[in-house]
């Protein structure tokens, strides 16, 4: 019997910024989002190094320790697609914001709950804010692509407790089904 997922994560792939040129004067980029054995992709935007996808991809979350991998490719008609960089999203800070002992309904719309600074352990190009927006917790971020000369991706995360999901267990306690338990020996 398969474990129930904790919930559903919507990855809104907004746009690419200054992506690498892989054809003669431009690229035909698309993004592949991978989590565990789930693999989703955006549509191809032809001849554009600053594409706007504005697509929502939906992932089922079972293990919060698995990073979300994003890889940008250039679609080639007659040969293999060229890699245009990659990045990772650590979703733990986003999910930890859900565990905060706050009555989110009392917060003003657009209120920042948590900020994550760019650093060596993440792919953030600039500070990312986790906000309370229209009754949901969201995180906007710009990821700097690795293994390429240039390029960034603008992404937004949004959590949903889907039907049949375990959820994050926020009811009055920081003890959750996904957070590691500490042993007191």
The first and second tokens of residue 168, run together, are: 């994050």
Helices assigned H by DSSP within 6-90: none
Separation between Cα atoms, residue 151 and residue 29, nearest integer Å: 11
Task: Assign 169 a pLDDT band (cuts: 50, 70, 90).
Answer: low
* Beta bridge partners of residue 56, listed in sequence order: 12
The label of the residue with tokens 């904790």 reads 6
Pairwise pLDDT comparison (166 vs 27), residue with the higher score:
27
Taken in order of first residue, the domains within the chain and their CATH numbers are 7-160 (2.60.40.150)
pLDDT tens digit sequence for 2-59: 678 888 999 999 999 999 998 888 999 999 999 999 999 999 999 999 999 999 999 9
Separation between Cα atoms, residue 109 and residue 104, nearest integer Å: 10
Separation between Cα atoms, residue 44 and residue 42, nearest integer Å: 7
Q: Count of H helices and E strands in the chain?
A: 1, 10
Pairwise pLDDT comparison (126 vs 103), residue with the higher score:
126
The first and second tokens of residue 104, run together, are: 């989110």
pLDDT tens digit sequence for 105-124: 788 888 899 999 999 889 99
Separation between Cα atoms, residue 144 and residue 17, nearest integer Å: 9
pTM, entire model: 0.86
When the pLDDT of each residue in the chain is averaged and rounded to a whole number, the result is: 87
């Amino acid at each position: 019997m398969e474990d129930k997922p904790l919930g559903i994560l919507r990855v809104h792939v907004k746009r690419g910024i200054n992506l690498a040129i892989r054809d003669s004067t431009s690229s035909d980029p698309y993004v592949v989002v991978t989590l565990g054995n789930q693999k989703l992709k955006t549509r191809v935007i032809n001849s554009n190094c600053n594409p706007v996808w504005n697509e929502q991809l939906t992932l089922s979350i079972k293990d919060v320790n698995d990073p979300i991998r994003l890889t940008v490719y250039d679609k080639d008609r007659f040969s293999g697609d060229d890699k245009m960089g990659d990045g990772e999203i650590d979703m733990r800070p986003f999910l930890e914001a859900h565990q905060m002992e706050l009555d989110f309904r009392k917060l003003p719309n657009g209120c920042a709950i948590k900020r994550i600074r760019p650093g060596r352990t993440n792919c953030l190009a600039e500070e990312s804010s986790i906000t309370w927006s229209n009754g949901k917790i969201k995180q906007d971020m710009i990821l700097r692509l690795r293994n390429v000369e240039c390029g960034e991706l603008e992404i937004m995360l949004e959590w949903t407790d889907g039907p049949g999901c375990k959820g994050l267990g926020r009811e009055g306690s920081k003890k959750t089904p996904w957070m590691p338990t500490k042993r007191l020996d």
